[in-house]
């Protein structure tokens, strides 16, 4: 990646479902190591945008590049291999599996030994699994899940399940992390914990964060920049303070200037 170049570039992407335009000619750049929040009302196209970046949707038009490489038409597994991980708006864990096993699944794209190697070269596969287990144990400590590692994830509280899902994405050791409403459905204490983890991931690991979030207090507190979508289009972008004072943003999303100040 050239010095000064954006780590992620989204250029004029569009996505339609039948006659409905979900994303309409959206362009944005994300610099390495920043926290960028994408906000907007329900149906604005936020999740569809993340789905295109992570390969779950293929754009109808436009281009997406990560670290100078065109990833527009790559499948999700190939995009994950290049260092982009994500969480989902609706929890997508294997709830019958333990916390440890869910996190180990997050290492799958880093595993070189396949099933054949596990049988033929048992020692090699065993050493590799031990190395991956060590990485996962570090994550368990980082996320303060030590006492829960053997618990089925389905038995955990909603907030803890969200934390495990964050851990599974981090198990990939991503360069860029896409978070789709990581604090949705949480109480205030759980939101504060999650915001702290997001900041720690960004500051301690240097991971780029692209965040979809409806809690404007969180957005304004932790974001370096904010992009606002409305009806699939970008209507504002910039530093949080400038975005929160934008009249078009107030009309389209936040209602009144009083409401936005209260949320911040």
User: Could you give the CA distance from residue 17 to residue 43 in angstroms, rounded to a whole number?
Assistant: 12
Note whether 152 and 203 are same-domain residues.
no
User: Minimum mean pLDDT among 12-16, 118-122, 166-170, 193-197: which range?
Assistant: 118-122
pLDDT, position 184: 86
Give how far Cα 83 sits from Cα of 14, 29, 257, Å. Answer: 23, 17, 39
Note whether 79 and 179 are same-domain residues.
yes
Note whether 220 and 102 are same-domain residues.
no
Q: Which two tokens stand for residue 120?
A: 């033929």
Note whether 39 and 166 are same-domain residues.
no
Chain centroid to CA 264: how far? 22
Task: Show which of 109, 143, 171 is a domain's final residue.
Answer: 171
User: Is 111 or 39 the better-scoring residue by pLDDT?
Assistant: 39
Q: Is residue 104 part of a domain?
A: yes
If you average pLDDT over residues 183-205, what whole number do you get? 93
* pLDDT at residue 61 greater than cutoff 50: yes
- pLDDT tens digits, one per residue of 142-189: 999 999 999 999 999 989 999 999 999 999 999 999 999 999 889 999
Find the CATH number of the domain harbouring 38. Answer: 3.40.50.300
Q: Which residue shows structure tokens 């794209």?
A: 109
Span between the terminal Cα atoms of the chain, in Å: 35
* pLDDT at residue 262 greater than cutoff 70: no
Phi, psi angles (nearest 5°) of residue 44 = -75, -15
> Taken in order 156, 160, 165, 170, is the CA torsion positive or negative?
negative
Is the separation of the CB atoms in 6 and 29 below 8 Å? Answer: yes
- pLDDT tens digits, one per residue of 212-224: 998 888 999 999 9
Note whether 49 and 133 are same-domain residues.
no
Percentage helix, strand, coil for the chain under 3-state DSSP, each rounded to 5 = 45, 25, 35
Note whether 158 and 209 are same-domain residues.
no
pLDDT, position 125: 54
Q: How many CB atoms are located within 10 Å of the residue 150 CB?
A: 9
- Domain residues for the domain of 129 are 94-171
How much is the mean pLDDT over the chain? Answer: 87
Q: Is residue 199 part of a domain?
A: yes
Our count of domains for the chain comes to 2
Which residues of 6-154 form beta strands (DSSP E)? Answer: 8-17, 20-30, 35-39, 61-66, 69-70, 84-86
User: Is 129 or 37 the better-scoring residue by pLDDT?
Assistant: 37
If you average pLDDT over residues 187-209, what whole number do you get? 94
Note whether 49 and 69 are same-domain residues.
yes
* pLDDT at residue 235 greater than cutoff 90: yes
If you average pLDDT over residues 53-78, what whole number do you get? 96
If you average pLDDT over residues 100-122, what whole number do you get? 64
pLDDT, position 65: 97
User: Is 113 or 24 the better-scoring residue by pLDDT?
Assistant: 24
Note whether 78 and 197 are same-domain residues.
yes
User: Could you give the CA distance from residue 45 to residue 230 in angstroms, rounded to a whole number?
Assistant: 8
Note whether 62 and 117 are same-domain residues.
no
Which percentage of the chain shows pLDDT scores above 70?
A: 86
Beta-carbon contacts of 18 under 8 Å, excluding residues fewer than 6 positions away, are none
Q: What is the DSSP letter of 45?
A: S
In the Cβ-directed half-sphere of 242, how many Cα atoms lie within 13 Å? 9
* pLDDT at residue 117 greater than cutoff 70: no
């Amino acid at each position: 990646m050239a010095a000064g170049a954006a780590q992620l570039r989204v250029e004029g992407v569009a996505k339609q479902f039948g006659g409905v335009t979900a994303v309409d000619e959206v362009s944005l750049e994300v610099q390495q190591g920043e926290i960028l929040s994408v906000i907007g009302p329900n149906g604005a196209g936020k999740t569809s945008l993340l789905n295109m970046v992570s390969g779950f949707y293929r754009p109808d038009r436009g281009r997406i590049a990560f670290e100078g490489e065109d990833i527009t038409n790559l499948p999700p597994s190939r995009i994950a291999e290049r260092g982009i991980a994500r969480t989902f708006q609706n929890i997508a864990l294997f709830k019958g599996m333990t916390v440890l096993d869910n996190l180990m699944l997050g290492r799958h794209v880093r595993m070189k030994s396949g099933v054949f190697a596990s049988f033929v070269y048992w020692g090699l596969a065993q050493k590799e699994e031990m190395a991956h287990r060590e990485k996962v144990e570090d994550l368990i400590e980082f996320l303060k899940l030590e006492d829960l590692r053997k618990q089925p994830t389905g038995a955990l509280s909603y907030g803890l399940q969200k934390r495990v899902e964050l851990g599974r994405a981090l198990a990939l050791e991503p360069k860029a992390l896409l978070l789709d409403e990581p604090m949705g459905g949480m109480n205030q204490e759980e939101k504060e914990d999650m915001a702290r983890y997001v900041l720690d991931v960004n500051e301690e690991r240097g991971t780029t964060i692209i965040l979809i979030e409806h809690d404007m207090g969180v957005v304004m507190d932790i974001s370096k920049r904010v992009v606002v979508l409305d009806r699939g289009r970008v209507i504002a972008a910039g530093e949080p303070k400038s975005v929160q004072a934008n009249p078009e943003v107030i009309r389209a999303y936040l209602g009144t200037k009083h409401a936005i100040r209260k949320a911040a």
